[in-house]
């Protein structure tokens, strides 16, 4: 298999196609543990979690559940490929959308490992700014979503694609006691569904990373801190791939003169709006839910970066 792969790459020796394929393989090797663990955890929840159990927990403290979800998001080590399908399954299980939106927005932005890595590379100030921004944006996304539901811009019963019964996150309401066979059946269905979008996202991310020169464009905006924040907010969408891998890259750019606000904007917009997350969010959630998620990441990154530059 290895010789076949290298023979395939040698066919494109010296071309951008070879670079894209190599980058796609690197991304695949880095991300597949998160994909597998996400599918298994989500399948376990879909198979064995009872809707009434989840609904009872969140109804009992609904005034604080958005804040609790944002707190869980910033301390949880779960990756996006776990959180996004997990949130879709929890939605079907009865968890309100505002609570899920707080989790969806806050979770990708920071976790204990990223906090320590950011602190080591940039200092405790930027690490704390990243932590506080993640929590505030998660809470803001949750309450904004609740407001949109109050205005009837979003219908609580129309959150997932295929809500009419075709959703891959639909729970089994047949009343039959779940067993190993039902788990394996759900595992197969979910693996097939998510893997299609996962591999599409991998090749899109590799293509963008190879063909778009990030460092050259950042230097063009290096003289103006405001424009740099806006640019890195947008640059996070195509260029952010992995939290740990992004830190040394941004550290090098900071040494070239990129402001702390621009770095913070990149660290916020990138995790929420990276290609793999956008593809999966669009596949699972309806357009208006997707738009709130996307707008929170972009606007929140820009505002956080500008505030960072103004006051710190």
In a domain, 8, yes or no: no
CA trace torsion 63, 69, 72, 73 (10° rounding): -150
- Look up residue 250 and give its two tokens: 């941004």
Asked if the structure places residue 4 within a domain, the reply is: no
Q: Is residue 9 in a domain?
A: no
Mean pLDDT of all residues in 47-55: 62
The Cβ of residue 149 has, within 10 Å, a number of other Cβ atoms equal to 16
Q: How far apart are CA 192 and CA 179, in angstroms?
A: 20
Looking at the domain assignment, is residue 5 inside a domain?
Answer: no
Percentage above 90 pLDDT, the chain:
17
Distance separating alpha carbons of residues 24 and 98, to the nearest angstrom: 34
What is d(CA 111, CA 293) in angstroms, rounded to the nearest whole number? 19
- For the chain, what is the domain count? 1
In-domain check, residue 231: yes
How far is C-alpha 13 from the chain's CA centre? Answer: 33
Report the run of H or E that residue 150 belongs to, with start and end.
helix 124-150
- Tens digit of each residue's pLDDT (9 = 90 or more) over 257-281: 778 888 888 888 888 888 778 888 8
Average pLDDT, stretch 204-217? 63
Residue range of the domain that includes 119: 14-311
pLDDT at position 226 is 65
* For range 209-222, the mean pLDDT: 58
265 belongs to a structural domain:
yes
Residue 7 lies inside a defined structural domain of this protein: no
Query: pLDDT tier at 224 (50, 70, 90 boundaries)?
Result: low
């Amino acid at each position: 298999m290895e010789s076949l792969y290298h023979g395939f790459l040698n066919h494109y020796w010296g071309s951008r196609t070879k670079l894209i394929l190599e980058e796609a393989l690197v991304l695949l090797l880095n991300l597949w543990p998160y994909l597998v663990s996400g599918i298994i955890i989500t399948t376990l929840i879909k198979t064995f979690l009872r809707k009434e159990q989840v609904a009872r927990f969140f109804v009992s403290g609904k005034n604080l559940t958005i804040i609790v979800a944002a707190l869980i998001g910033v301390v949880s080590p779960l990756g996006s490929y776990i959180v996004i399908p997990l949130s879709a399954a929890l939605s079907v299980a009865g968890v309100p959308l505002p609570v899920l939106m707080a989790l969806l927005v806050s979770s990708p932005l920071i976790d204990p490992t990223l906090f320590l890595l950011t602190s080591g590379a940039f200092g405790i100030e930027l690490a704390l700014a990243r932590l506080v921004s993640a929590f505030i944006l998660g809470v803001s996304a949750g309450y904004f979503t609740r407001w949109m539901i109050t205005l009837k811009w979003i219908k609580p019963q129309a959150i997932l694609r295929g809500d009419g019964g075709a959703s891959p996150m639909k729970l089994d309401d047949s009343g039959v006691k779940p067993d190993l066979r039902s788990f394996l059946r759900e595992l197969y269905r979910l693996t097939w569904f998510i893997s299609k979008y996962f591999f599409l996202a991998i090749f899109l991310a590799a293509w963008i990373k190879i063909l778009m020169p990030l460092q050259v464009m950042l230097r063009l905006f290096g003289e103006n801190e405001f424009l740099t924040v806006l640019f890195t907010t947008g640059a996070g969408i195509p260029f952010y791939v992995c939290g740990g891998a992004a830190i040394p890259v941004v550290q090098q750019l900071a040494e070239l003169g990129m402001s702390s606000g621009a770095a913070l904007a990149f660290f916020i917009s990138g995790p929420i709006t990276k290609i793999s997350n956008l593809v999966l969010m669009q596949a699972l959630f309806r357009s208006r839910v997707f738009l709130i998620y996307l707008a929170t990441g972009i606007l929140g990154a820009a505002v956080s970066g500008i505030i960072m530059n103004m006051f710190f």
